[in-house]
Structure 1
Amino acid sequence: MSSDLWSFALDVYARPGVEDACLRLQTAGANVCLLLCGLWLEQRAVACDEPRVRLLKALTAPWDIEVVQPLRTLRMQWKARAVDDAVVAGMREQIKSLELEAERTLLSRLEGVAQEWTRNDAGSVTWLEDLAGNAASLNRDALQVLRVAATGT
């Protein structure tokens, strides 16, 4: 398993079915970076509790709302125009790079908070359901795809 969250996230995301599962969960309202962090914590057997879940969500929400989502929205708005306009296509790729860097920054911040949390065999390690919120009940199969993919890292 990759020790840092960024490498872990890249490893997991590259596995078959993960991108589709993440997009389904994102469409249902889950934050993919938060879910990847949850998988990382599950793989490390870190106990999941409400204060930790609240802390990770509180760290994620403002960055996602103020930085990641506006970049993603602009990138998606330019998708059709980029097909016929090379300049827009190039700018869209730059925005995509910024979006990825914003996600990397978020993962780094999540890791910074969680990396000292120790293994606790007595506690629950089901981070995904707690971090996915309502998206979990709609996409249990997508969560399972993520869990299976993470076991191969």
Structure 2
Amino acid sequence: MSLWGWTLEAYARPGVAEACLALQDDHGQNTSFLLWAVWAEGADEAALRDAALAGRAWDDQVLKPIRAVRRTLKAAFPKVDDGAREALREDVKAAELRAERVLMETFEALSDHRRGGRPALAALQAASRAWGSPAPDDALARLAGALG
């Protein structure tokens, strides 16, 4: 199964979305990178390093700005029609999702479909370290548990 297909199924599981958003918002992690690491069963260190480098650049230059616009559009703007604002927010949300998919396709290509054989928590810990400032083990364990 492709990474994108696996991610859509995984994200629909109870608790996965919440655990991912907490890791993203509270601990500065990239959920696409974390989910890729689990899918790749803990890709080797070189693949983790390459993916983290590509992911951080994409996150900083593409995903974070799009996400900021989407979040800004959540609140009403004086004199701007709410329906038009919400419609634009949905367009931006679709662009954010497409940007995440492009990133995941990049990760999938970097892993070359190799599997590292690590369990989910170990894969998440390795990915979190590779991303930069590691997230707390309990936050990673929540995601690993939700992923099953």
Asked whether the 8 Å contact 2:40–2:116 carries over to 1, the reply is: no
Return the match for 2:74 from 73, 79, 99. Answer: 79
- For residue 32 of structure 2, give the secondary structure of its aligned residue in structure 1: helix
Shift of 1:87: 0.5
Asked whether the 8 Å contact 2:40–2:113 carries over to 1, the reply is: no
> Are 2:126 and 1:127 equivalent residues in the alignment?
no
Counterpart residue number, 1:92: 89
Q: Give the whole-Å Cα distance in 1 for the aligned partners of 2:143 and 2:111.
A: 20
> Are 2:140 and 1:150 equivalent residues in the alignment?
no
Asked whether the 8 Å contact 1:18–1:149 carries over to 2, the reply is: yes
Counterpart residue number, 1:34: 33
Counterpart of 1:148 in structure 2: which amino acid? Answer: G
Asked whether the 8 Å contact 1:78–1:88 carries over to 2, the reply is: yes
Q: 1:130 to 1:91 in 2, by over 3 A?
A: same
Shift of 1:88: 0.6
Counterpart of 1:32 in structure 2: which amino acid? Answer: T
Counterpart residue number, 2:10: 12
Q: Give the whole-Å Cα distance in 2 for the aligned partners of 1:120 and 1:128.
A: 12
- Deviation readout 1:98-134 (Å, 9 max, x if unpaired): 00000011111110111342x455xx56221122233
Counterpart of 1:55 in structure 2: which amino acid? Answer: D
Structure 2 residues not aligned, in runs of 5+ = none
> Are 2:55 and 1:60 equivalent residues in the alignment?
yes
Count the aligned residue pairs: 140
TM-score, normalising length: structure 2: 0.84
Counterpart of 1:129 in structure 2: which amino acid? Answer: Q
Counterpart of 2:19 in structure 1: which amino acid? Answer: A
Q: Give the whole-Å Cα distance in 1 for the aligned partners of 2:18 and 2:86.
A: 23
Return the match for 2:65 from 64, 70, 89. Answer: 70
Structure 1 residues not aligned, in runs of 5+ = none
TM-score, normalising length: structure 1: 0.81
Q: Give the whole-Å Cα distance in 1 for the aligned partners of 2:142 and 2:4.
A: 19
- Percent identity over the alignment? 37
- For residue 89 of structure 1, give the secondary structure of its aligned residue in structure 2: helix
Asked whether the 8 Å contact 1:128–1:143 carries over to 2, the reply is: yes
Asked whether the 8 Å contact 1:39–1:146 carries over to 2, the reply is: no
